[in-house]
């Protein structure tokens, strides 16, 4: 029943998913809120709620525009449910904003499969990465993904390797100039503190271990049949799938090196994994298995807020 409901992209699907985001966001905000209730708090919460809903629509736009899945809502559903496993992904403002901005960069990266406005797309992607790095410095690792996209989609031109450097440094230079004008260079230095921590002790807690085990198992089960299927697809989809696998790897790296491991750092891996999971659901012939997978994610979501 649930699998059938999300098997198509219909207005009712967007409405249900928007309501689900609304519920998850409010539960995450008020459960972890330590700020006094004020006009500023409600205005800020309203803006971030709008951004949370908009994020889902941007995810869907990227997927539809680049044909990353078939015409269904599975990817949006998995994205929302994975974010519900780690409510801190909504409450960590810097990471939350950086993730949204990176989605705008990914929109341009995946569209490199076409030969229209190649240099503009490369510049835009790098520019968005530069802005995201001002909110979360390790967003810069997505530059590796951008260069991977240039190679994978065969946009090999010496100018295409220089354009990303110009794009990513532009917002960084502008922010430095702005802070310098107000004699606040120290703030810029703090933004660019490249600290990392490879410890995984926090993930041993049941709060993280159960959802991470589900996501990890789903990823391991999904990757072989979906990759095998992509090898039989058209050449442009093969390239796109190679980029997606690279995207998963780089997003995982960003999460693993995070200093603050409270679940919010995992937000970067939700987008590529949601596409992987949606493609896996598409190749499953057994209806009961589709239902089982979705119910497992829903049960994990509900248990996380009990």
Q: In the block, which residue shows the tokens 């960069």?
A: 105
Segment 126-157, tens digit of pLDDT: 999 999 999 999 999 999 999 999 999 888 88
Report how far residue 52's alpha carbon sits from residue 37's, in angstroms, rounded to the nearest whole number: 20
* pTM given for the model: 0.93
Tell me which of 61 and 157 has the higher pLDDT. Answer: 61
Question: DSSP class of residue 232?
Answer: T
Segment 280-296, tens digit of pLDDT: 999 888 888 999 999 99
Torsion of Cα atoms, 75 then 129 then 119 then 178, to 10°:
140
Tell me which of 121 and 185 has the higher pLDDT. Answer: 121
Report how far residue 17's alpha carbon sits from residue 187's, in angstroms, rounded to the nearest whole number: 38
Report how far residue 184's alpha carbon sits from residue 178's, in angstroms, rounded to the nearest whole number: 9
CA 31 remoteness from chain centre: 23
Torsion of Cα atoms, 31 then 34 then 36 then 40, to 10°:
-80
Number of Cβ within 10 Å of residue 225's Cβ equals 14
* For the chain, percent of residues with pLDDT exceeding 70: 97
For residue 187, the model assigns a pLDDT of 79
Per-residue tokens: 188:
């810029």
Segment 162-195, tens digit of pLDDT: 999 999 999 999 988 888 887 777 777 777 777 8
Find the length of the chain. 306
For residue 33, the model assigns a pLDDT of 63
Which is nearest to 214 in space by CA: 84, 20, 63, 91?
84
The SS3 assignment for 33 reads: coil
Per-residue tokens: 6:
């999300």
Per-residue tokens: 285:
């012939």
């Amino acid at each position: 029943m649930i699998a059938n409901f999300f098997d198509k992209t219909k207005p009712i699907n967007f409405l249900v998913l928007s309501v689900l985001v609304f519920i998850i966001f409010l539960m995450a905000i008020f459960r972890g809120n330590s700020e006094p209730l004020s006009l500023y708090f409600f205005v800020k919460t309203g803006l971030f709620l709008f951004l949370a809903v908009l994020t889902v629509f941007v995810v869907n736009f990227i997927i539809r525009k680049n044909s990353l899945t078939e015409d269904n809502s599975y990817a949006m559903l998995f994205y929302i449910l994975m974010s519900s496993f780690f409510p801190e992904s909504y409450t960590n403002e810097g990471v939350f904003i950086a993730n949204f901005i990176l989605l705008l960069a990914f929109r341009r990266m995946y569209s490199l499969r076409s030969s229209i406005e190649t240099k503009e797309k490369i510049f835009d992607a790098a520019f968005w990465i530069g802005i995201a790095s001002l909110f979360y410095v390790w967003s810069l690792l997505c530059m590796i993904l951008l260069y991977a996209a240039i190679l994978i989609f065969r946009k090999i031109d010496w100018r295409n390797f220089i354009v990303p450097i110009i794009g990513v440094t532009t917002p960084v230079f502008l922010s430095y100039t702005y802070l310098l004008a107000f004699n606040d260079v120290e703030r810029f230095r703090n933004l660019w503190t490249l600290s990392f921590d490879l410890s995984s002790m926090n993930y041993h807690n049941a709060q993280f271990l159960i959802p991470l085990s589900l996501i990890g198992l789903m990823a391991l089960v999904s990757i072989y049949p979906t990759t095998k299927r992509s090898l039989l697809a058209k050449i442009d989809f093969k390239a796109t799938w190679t980029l997606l696998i690279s995207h998963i790897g780089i997003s995982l790296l960003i999460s693993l090196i995070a200093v603050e491991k409270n679940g919010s750092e995992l937000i970067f891996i939700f987008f590529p994994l949601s596409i992987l999971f949606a493609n896996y659901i598409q190749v499953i012939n057994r209806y009961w298995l589709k239902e089982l997978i979705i119910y497992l994610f829903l049960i994990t979501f509900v248990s996380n807020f009990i």
